[in-house]
Amino acid sequence: MENLHDKRKIYAKSQLIESEIKQNPLEQFRDWFLDASEDPSVSEANAMAISTVEEDGCPRTRMVLLKAYTHEGFIFYTNYDSKKGKAIERSHKACLHFFWPSLERQIIIKAELEKVAGNLSDGYFHSRPKGSQLGAAASPQSQVVPDRAFLEEKLKQLEKEYEGNEVPRPANWGGYLAKPYEIEFWQGRPNRLHDRIVYQLEGFDWKISRLAP
Ligand SMILES: Cc1cc2nc3c(=O)[nH]c(=O)nc-3n(C[C@H](O)[C@H](O)[C@H](O)COP(=O)(O)O)c2cc1C
């Protein structure tokens, strides 16, 4: 057995206390996201894990990139027919998770999801490099494919088809807006007495509570 019992870290970078936090969690997110974006040891501040519940009741987690956040919530882009797309179609819910180790911070977001307007997805799709646009069009995300050559062949065909022309956004590719109804901010503290502040939406107001670590 490879035991990791002695692998432990002291958390002492910062604190999260009621008198200093924002009353709106999206504003608190903004503060923390800016800190993470400015920290040179965080390589992709906008990488987040997203968990959805599968048909067998088991959650499934994978990384995606946050591409925008607004006063309403968090936007990312994917294939609507992917495993996550199908799970979102069923439950309209997901859990997003950020962990920025160098800041000793995590954020857990429970959200209701909806597709963003087509013109927003078009705008983002066409802002990506042409190779990424073609890659998205070539990949039946989450489907079993015979081999890698199948995908490369498909990409080659599409490169030829759209040479000198704009690649249309595939109808099954676009953005989701995750509208939070619960957001927990976790700040590592000494002696495992970490700070956990949770915001829960009650009507139009955010109720703020502290959770034991
Ligand atoms: C850092 C990172 C960022 C990623 N960003 C995205 C993304 O923005 N959109 C996406 O569809 N997949 C992204 N992926 C791939 C997903 O993790 C996943 O493999 C893919 O979306 C298929 O997931 P699913 O079959 O569970 O739906 C990313 C992977 C990593 C490691």
- Binding-site residue ranges for FMN: 62-67, 77-78, 83-84, 106, 141-142, 186, 196
Q: Is the residue at 53 inside a domain?
A: yes
The CATH number for 55's domain is 2.30.110.10
Q: Is the residue at 119 inside a domain?
A: yes
Q: Is the residue at 89 inside a domain?
A: yes
Q: Is the residue at 113 inside a domain?
A: yes
Range of the domain at 183: 18-132+171-210
pLDDT tens for each residue of 84-109: 999 999 999 999 999 999 999 999 99
Ligand 1 pocket residue status of 78, Cβ below 6 Å: yes
% of the chain at pLDDT higher than 70: 100
* Cα-to-centroid distance, 63 and ligand 1 (Å): 5
pLDDT tens for each residue of 42-68: 999 999 999 999 999 999 999 999 999
Q: Is the residue at 155 inside a domain?
A: no
Helix axes 130-138, 148-161, angle to 10 degrees: 120
* 174 touches 79 (CB < 8 A): no
Q: In total, how many domains does the chain have?
A: 1
Q: Is the residue at 153 inside a domain?
A: no
Q: Is the residue at 165 inside a domain?
A: no
- Binding-site residue ranges for substrate: 8-11, 67, 124, 128, 132, 192-194
